[in-house]
Amino acid sequence: MGETKKSGGNIRRTYKDQHRFEHWYRDNQVYFITVRTRLGYPAFADEDAKHIFWNRFNHYTKQYGFTPFVTSLLDNHYHTLGYLKHGNQLPRMMQGIQGSTAKLVNDTLPQRHVPFWHENKNKSYFDGCIRDEKQCRLSYRYVCIQSERHGVCDDWAGYAHTRINVELECAVERALERNAFLTGVPYKRYQQRNPKGT
């Protein structure tokens, strides 16, 4: 089992009875990532803004070794599920995607939206390592149907901004072959419930 590193240097796991937000950096993992603009602002409503996102997303995922399985972009958020070889590349990749996208999309808006993403720099995105095949399949489907869930279209397969790079069965097969699902981490965020649900 590879080493798991977490963002932030504070040893306290809780603050005001709330679990501290952390990013997890772990090699050879399937990651689910979700990002929302600040206050849900529809910064990507325009097709030009969506084109900017895809250009930057494709550039930085390739640069930092993230293989997207499926990604869906809507007017104010996006989700992606994919494989990351080196966990320490996650913050660099996200900084590249978020920083360049915010700058370039803001250049197209009638009024700059600053901050562009979440108000708290450390919580500008959510990442989670996928535990097993079942969670991978559920997450894959969840990303696929975003456009339907948000009323953009009746059939996600016809939505241009849901993009499949690796078909589901192939994605699952690759992850299993590489042992890329997270197991054995004694941390509540990733612990699976036992059959009794406790």
The pLDDT, as a whole number, for residue 157 is 94
pTM score, whole prediction: 0.84
Give the DSSP H or E segment for 137: helix 133-144
The pLDDT, as a whole number, for residue 124 is 78
The pLDDT, as a whole number, for residue 183 is 80
Q: Give yes or no for a cis peptide into 115 (omega within 30° of 0).
A: yes
Share of the chain above pLDDT 70, in %: 80
Q: What is the mean pLDDT of residues 155-172?
A: 97
pLDDT, tens only, 98-128: 999 999 999 999 999 999 998 665 677 999 9
Beta strands in the chain (DSSP E): 4-6, 14-15, 18-19, 24-26, 29-36, 66-73, 77-84, 126-129, 162-164
- Tokens, residue 37: 């603009």
pLDDT, tens only, 30-89: 999 999 999 999 999 999 999 999 999 999 999 999 999 999 999 999 999 999 999 999
Q: How confident is the model at residue 136 (pLDDT cuts 50, 70, 90)?
A: very high
As a whole number of angstroms, the distance between CA 158 and CA 92 comes to 32
Decide if 117 contacts 37 (C-beta within 8 A).
Answer: yes
The pLDDT, as a whole number, for residue 118 is 80
The pLDDT, as a whole number, for residue 117 is 93
